[in-house]
Structure 1
């Protein structure tokens, strides 16, 4: 097992990538945090650990806006260009992580990953609690971001808490071509303290990829 920290320069300043690579990794997952900005959140760490245990290399990304000390993520027009070089740094060149390459994240992190999945050349996209709309405001839908990988034939999966105020599993399913692309787990937007079902769903999706 190897672990290292990589700093990547972006238009918003440096981002930090925490890489964990098991021997003979079967593929790679680039995973980032939500609007709270912590890759050390219990659910994110649990998924990362589960994937590594299943043989996947994992790159946990602290986005540049977090490293810079900002409290909230910037708009997509600023956030996306700062995400692209991070994925490029771990997915290409000498020491590139193995394919298939899955991009994903928690909440806001899922949004940036889905929006840019095609541009970064991802083989699949994984959302942990996709924020389909602000709580109580279903009219402000982000379904276009949710579906962004679909026209490019990129497999996607959403793991959604059964009581998520940012979009119930049924609401998310209604916006996708196939209801099987959504896994329902316990809890709300933050899942539960012991998110074993979340981990199982994420690992199962990764394991289903060719």
Structure 2
């Protein structure tokens, strides 16, 4: 097993400080950076399970707390602020702990959307989406976030609960969709979430 350690620090962004938790491994083969959901944090069970799985694959992992969460707010910031903060965080990390490593970005729900929208500008080789919120369940008019997924030019894995009320993205060239038992929380079968990520992550990093 690789040696592990965690370094937590704050990074200044255009919208206040973000906080990162860098899970270090000896001899990393790549890096995975994960964002949280709109109303949750980096301790969500699916994020924790994926962090542990990636570390076991000798991947350095960073979980990112957006500035609004660091400031103690639960209501998420607008998308443009989330994206700008994320880009600032990634620029700092790539110049420091993650220098020279192939980079996979992702997150759960809102964090997955941020990772999709910014994947090109941060230089990601792939995107991991946990519980991508395809359709807002209480929207007054029908709408879909599919264009955010369709715009990603690198490989994508979507791990989605089979009963997710936010919908189910469709597979596409370069995009794999794995359905696991449960709903949007992905709490029901964390082993299935881990298995999907563990089967996909080494392959995309080897191509990076």
Query: Given the two structures, how large is their TM-score scaled by the length of structure 2?
Result: 0.90
Map residues 60-209 of structure 1 onto 2, 5 A cutoff: 60-92=63-95, 94-135=96-137, 139-150=142-153, 154-168=154-168, 172-173=169-170, 176-178=171-173, 181-209=176-204
DSSP 3-state at the match of 1:117: helix
> Could you tell me whether the CA contact under 8 Å between 1:132 and 1:146 is conserved in 2?
no
Q: In structure 2, how many angstroms separate the alpha carbons of the residues matched to 1:72 and 1:200?
A: 32
Kindly provide the CA deviation profile for residues 40-76 of structure 1, in whole angstroms up to 9, marking residues without a partner as x: 1111111111111111100011111110122121221
The 1:37–1:98 alpha-carbon spacing in structure 2 relative to 1, beyond 3 Å, is: farther
Which sections of structure 2, spanning at least 5 residues, go unmatched? Answer: none
Q: In structure 2, how many angstroms separate the alpha carbons of the residues matched to 1:16 and 1:180?
A: 30
Report runs of 4+ in structure 1 exceeding 4 Å deviation.
none
Q: In structure 2, how many angstroms separate the alpha carbons of the residues matched to 1:43 and 1:196?
A: 9
> Could you tell me whether the CA contact under 8 Å between 1:103 and 1:113 is conserved in 2?
yes
Count residues with an aligned counterpart: 201
How far apart are 1:178 and its partner, in Å? 3.2
Map residues 10-25 of structure 1 onto 2, 5 A cutoff: 10-25=13-28
Kindly provide the CA deviation profile for residues 127-176 of structure 1, in whole angstroms up to 9, marking residues without a partner as x: 001000112658210111122213xxx111111111111012xxx11xx5
The root-mean-square deviation of aligned C-alpha atoms, in Å, is 1.7
How far apart are 1:198 and its partner, in Å? 0.4
> Could you tell me whether the CA contact under 8 Å between 1:161 and 1:188 is conserved in 2?
yes
> Could you tell me whether the CA contact under 8 Å between 1:15 and 1:61 is conserved in 2?
yes
Query: Given the two structures, how large is their TM-score scaled by the length of structure 1?
Result: 0.90
Q: Does 1:30 align with 2:64?
A: no
> Could you tell me whether the CA contact under 8 Å between 1:57 and 1:97 is conserved in 2?
no
